[in-house]
Amino acid sequence: MALTLLSTKLHPPLPTAHVIARPHLVARLERGIGAKLMLISSPAGTGKSTLLAAWLRQQSRPAAWLSLDKSDNDLGQFLLYLVSALQQLDPDLGVGLPELLQQQNVVSFEPLLIRLTNNLAQLGGKVILVLDDYHFLSDSRIHDATEFLLDHLPSQVCLVIVTRTDPPLALSRLRVRSQLLEVRGADLRFDLAEVAHFLNGSQELGLSPAAIASLEAQTEGWIAALQLAALSLAERPDKEAFVEAFVGSHRFLVDYLVDEVLSRQPASIKTFLQRTAILERFNTSLCEAVTGQTTDADLLRQLEAANLFLVPLDDERRWYRFHHLFAEFLRHRLKADEPALIPELHRRASAWFAAQGLTDEAIRHAFLADDNELAAQVAAAVVAKLAVQWSNEQFIQYFQRLPTALIPAHPQLCLYYGWFLTTTGRLGTIKAALPLLEQSKGYSPEPQMLDAAIFGLRAYDHLHQLDFADAARLCQQQLSLLESAEPGHSTPEALMVRIAGTNLMGSICFYTAPQRAAALYQVALNLAQQIGSFISIFTATTGLAQANRQLGQLREAARVLEQGLRHLEDTRSQRGSSARTGNVAELHARLGQLHYERNQLAEAGAALRQARKLNELYGSPLALALGLSLSLKLCLAEGEVEAAYTALHRLDEVSVSVHGSDALLKQTFEVLAMHGRLALLAQTPQLTHLLDEVKDWLESCWRGNDEHFGSPLSGHDILARLRLARNEPTQALPLLERLIEAAQDQERENDLIRFLLLQALALQQLNREGEAMQALIRALKLAEPEGYCRSFIDLGPQMQALLKQRARDRNTPYLAALLAAFPERSSPLTAPEQPQTEVILQRVQGEVFNARELAVLRLLEVGNTHKQIARELQLSPNTVRWYMKNLYLKLRANNRTGALNRAREMGLL
């Protein structure tokens, strides 16, 4: 369920009556338009927002406005509103980012802001971005994001921050560079002429010069105090005497004058003002719900006309807010006059917002009412929709604010909490959640559903600890419990638990029983499509594709992934939002792997680029690791060993970053990295240190038993390849025979093809050519229907020699195509010099740039062509084009100019 944004936060305040023109300040702002930052910093009530809004109305430059409040002191919500504000300039700015920000926690704000600044750089003219009331923000991550934005804003964007206190940004650096325009409280102070114009011109009070001078001195030119004074004086016959009699500080003057203004209002208006002050913004309907009083449709306009400090927030004057200073005073008075009523006012506000579908506001007011039970009820009412849309971060934020003791009384919340924990991989929280679900059974009319969820959570935890046996046992208990439920019982919660359990059992079976895994994933996919659950559809789609690939059905696996991508695109069109980008990135990466196996390298490269682009914001470690593994293979296919080594180094970094509690994910990444080392070794045998690294890994992770022998995570196939790489075919053969037998029994045809090819190489090394040829023929027979290719090519010259030998005896179109796909080189690829220390030269903003890429970049900067760079670096033109392609990808650029500009921004040049 998409979060409903308050559109009134995205528009500047409209002008109120009696606004005094301040041309000298407007001109000052105009002169500062070239600055990176305009800082308008002064106390409340000094006219900051009014001045800025007046300046914006007088010019043709487009402006994005964001009014901040306390609820925005969260990085995700701040960025969500920031992007939405910028989309007021151009709807194409940051397309898809608001939807993404509602799905999960922000991993890094840098990619998001990079995309935004790149989009802004493409705008034709000068634009202005205003962050009003920035003083409400204290989260250091928000300040870091703002600092980053300031550092990278294109020249056509001017950022304006309006605040009561200076933000913790590098203001001194901006001052030194003449990139900062500052407007302070002293600048905003009304001088004597402006005070006279306001009191006697705008307000028509007819005060003497002495009285005006006295008020100017007492208020220190503070416009809020002057407005209050004008209201207080308006109906007094003794205006001069009132001014002469009053003494005191300007803050005390404000308190006194507000009290004066309120005391002259009818009791109903005074009550109305105080009770509605709990609201950040309001309209007639909301005011009526909160106050319990029938509210005339024109009342808010009348109060605005009476200068009672209402600020209109839209052109139709339907939504208003109080001036902050006035609101603070009203809340203070409410607390003094009706303290017991305040929680009830917040409850009424919560009910109104909930009825309007404004869940965030509804829950915020429930918490302000100190009514956690109400907050839980509001969350429970929307959690099913949040689950279908996978707005998981939004729900988890709600859930974690609720007192632990209250949660079990809401079984629906407990069920979905457990579901969200598994779909977001929060292993560390699962054990703490289990007692909540146990306790919740006493409150539920369907305790068996909670039992099923508990089995599922425990199974998920065991699977991610690589305890397959207990995971399967617990998951089977879950499914059996669900099957024994009342026939036809299909509440959304029951379906969610059933889908999650079926997907989970598919994940367990994938490693040793892919046929059953495929059947389970298909059932889960059908159920998930019935209810439109995004994350369940995604999980079932990827699982079904992987199971089909393991069964050797490459075309069917590709069809499943392509269908999944089309479904997500249809979902985006129907809901007016972008598909969930991180998960889609994984689909593209897996599709790229299938293209790669069939030697469709251009298609594989395109899929990789799409996966990287989509994953840069989401930050899915799995999508990143799959992309790096594919990138390594593509680099080797192009003969780019240095780039492949860089990809391997990054893959190692991703493996190290995985939290130790997720053994399954860590093992998955490490297996990818070990296969990457073996792939490098096949093309560059001189990189002998990689053999030692694979050996060390096997010794560190070897489990000493044959549980799930031969499965993709067992490491047995890596051991077999290591023995072959070390010229130990005698030791490799018995292991390969067992691997082949296990793969055959479990119908893992994809693995069977790989193991047969390794067996053929081992037999060839032992000069058992007849047996080697039989193993090869068997592999060819299995591989030909689905167009396997790279499994042969990536084994290098030895496999090429075997295939040539087979072709001499009996050539076929498939065999001819395989031989034609081998690279035309007579010797192994050249390894980079000292790759462990020299390949990785510089890391900037999450991207690694090797020495060769930086050299190409510097030659580009001085205007060299591809051919000139090739001559200078003694490379082929094709190799230079490869480096250029990598640079464009890492720099997120489409051409030479864009790449150079981005490199300068990143400090590479």
CATH of the domain at 121: 3.40.50.300
If asked whether residues 174 and 216 sit together in one domain, one would say: no
Q: How far apart are CA 314 and CA 306, in angstroms?
A: 19
Same domain, 801 and 875: no
Long-range contacts of the stretch 344-351 (C-beta < 8 A, 24+): 344/369, 345/275, 345/278, 345/290, 345/291, 345/369, 346/278, 346/371, 347/371, 347/374, 348/289, 348/290, 348/292, 349/278, 349/279, 349/286, 349/289, 349/290, 350/374, 350/375, 350/378, 351/289
- Tally of domains within the chain: 4
Residue 38 lies in a domain: yes
Is residue 435 included in any domain, yes or no?
A: no
Decide if 433 is inside a domain: no
Pairing relationship of beta strands 127-132 and 63-67 according to DSSP bridges: parallel
Residue at 136 is within a domain: yes
Which pLDDT band, with edges at 50, 70 and 90, does 463 fall under?
Answer: confident
CA dist 162 and 137 (Å) reads 12
Residue bearing the bigger pLDDT, 716 or 569: 716
Out of 91-100, 249-258, 812-821, pick the least confident. Answer: 249-258
- Within this chain, do residues 41 and 25 fall inside the same structural domain, yes or no? yes
pLDDT surpasses 60 at 274: yes
pLDDT at 803: 95
Using the predicted structure, report yes or no on whether residue 341 has a pLDDT greater than 90: yes
pLDDT at 310 over 90: no
| Boundary of a domain, candidates 154, 187, 220 | 187
Same domain, 174 and 201: no
Name every residue whose Cβ is closer than 8 Å to that of residue 17 and which is 6 or more positions away in sequence.
Answer: 304, 305, 307
Work out the percent of the chain whose per-residue pLDDT is above 90. 29
Q: Which amino acid is at 470?
A: D
* Angle formed by the axes of helices 716-725 and 749-765, nearest 10°: 20
pLDDT at 892 over 90: no
Q: How many CB atoms lie within 10 A of CB 689?
A: 11
Tokens in use for 178?
A: 């003449």
- The answer to the question of residue 212 being in a domain is yes
* Beta-bridge partner residues of 63: 128
Range of weakest confidence among 92-101, 151-160, 475-484: 92-101
Give the Cβ contact number of residue 138 at 10 Å. 10
For residues 97 and 378, the model is more confident at: 378
Alpha carbon distance 359, 3 (integer Å): 8
My answer on whether 154 and 198 are in the same domain is no
pLDDT in tens, 534-585: 778 888 999 999 999 999 999 999 999 999 988 876 765 454 344 355 578 8
Strands 840-844 and 847-850 come out as antiparallel
pLDDT at residue 632 is higher than 90: yes
Among 248, 263, 278, residue at a domain's last position: 263
Whether 180 and 203 map to the same domain: the answer is: no
Asked if residue 401 lies in contact with residue 375, where contact means CB atoms within 8 angstroms, the answer is yes
Ranking 384-398, 623-637, 709-723 by mean pLDDT, the lowest is 384-398
Q: Which helix (H) or strand (E) holds 890?
A: helix 877-891
Do 200 and 179 have their domain in common? no
Q: State how far the Cα of 805 lies from the Cα of 801, in Å rounded to an integer.
A: 6
> CA torsion angle for 209, 211, 212, 213 (degrees, to 10)?
80
Query: Which residues, 6+ apart, have CB-to-CB distance to 692 below 8 Å?
Result: none
Residue 842, SS3 per DSSP: strand
Residue 607 lies in a domain: no
pLDDT recorded at residue 389: 59
Which of 30-44, 419-433, 750-764, 827-841 shows the lowest per-residue confidence on average (mean pLDDT)? 827-841
Q: What angle do CA 658, 661, 662 make, to 5 degrees?
A: 60
Q: How far apart are CA 863 and CA 865, in angstroms?
A: 7
Q: Are residues 873 and 728 in the same domain?
A: no
Q: How far is CA 173 from CA 150, 169, 355, in A?
A: 11, 9, 48
Of 246, 266, 244, 267, the closest CA to residue 257 belongs to 246
pLDDT in tens, 401-436: 778 778 888 888 888 777 777 776 666 677 778 888
Secondary structure letter of residue 408 according to DSSP: G
pLDDT at 448 exceeding the cut of 70 = yes
Q: Residue for token digits 């007819």?
A: 206
Q: Which residue has the tokens 């901006």?
A: 174
The alpha carbon of 37 is separated from its chain's Cα centroid by a whole number of angstroms, namely 27
| Residue 705 burial by Cβ neighbours in a 10 Å radius (0-12, 13-18, 19+) | exposed
Assigned domain for 860 exists: yes
Residues of the domain holding 896: 848-906
CATH number, domain containing residue 889: 1.10.10.10
Inter-CA distances, 126 with 129, 154, 160, 230, 516, Å: 10, 10, 13, 39, 60
- CB count in 10 Å sphere of residue 441: 18
pLDDT for 288 beyond 90: yes
Name the token pair of 236: 């007094």
Q: Are residues 172 and 200 in the same domain?
A: no
Same domain? For 14 and 122 the reply is yes
Quick check: 820 pLDDT over 90?
yes
* Range ranked top by mean pLDDT from 317-321, 668-672, 864-868: 668-672
List residues bridging with 41 in a β-sheet.
163, 184
Whether the per-residue pLDDT at 804 is higher than 80: the answer is yes
Taking each helix axis as running N to C, give the angle between helix 749-765 and helix 797-809, from 0 to 180 degrees, rounded to the nearest 10: 90
Assign residue 810 the CATH number of its domain.
1.25.40.10
pLDDT at 390 over 70: no
- Tokens 């594919």, residue? 630
Kindly state whether residues 22 and 167 are assigned to the same domain. Answer: yes
pLDDT of 863:
76
Q: Do 181 and 203 belong to one domain?
A: no
Predicted confidence (pLDDT) at residue 514 exceeds the cutoff of 90:
yes
Residue that finishes a domain, picked among 236, 263, 290: 263
Nearest to 260 by CA among 270, 268, 271: 270
Residue 771 falls inside a structural domain: yes
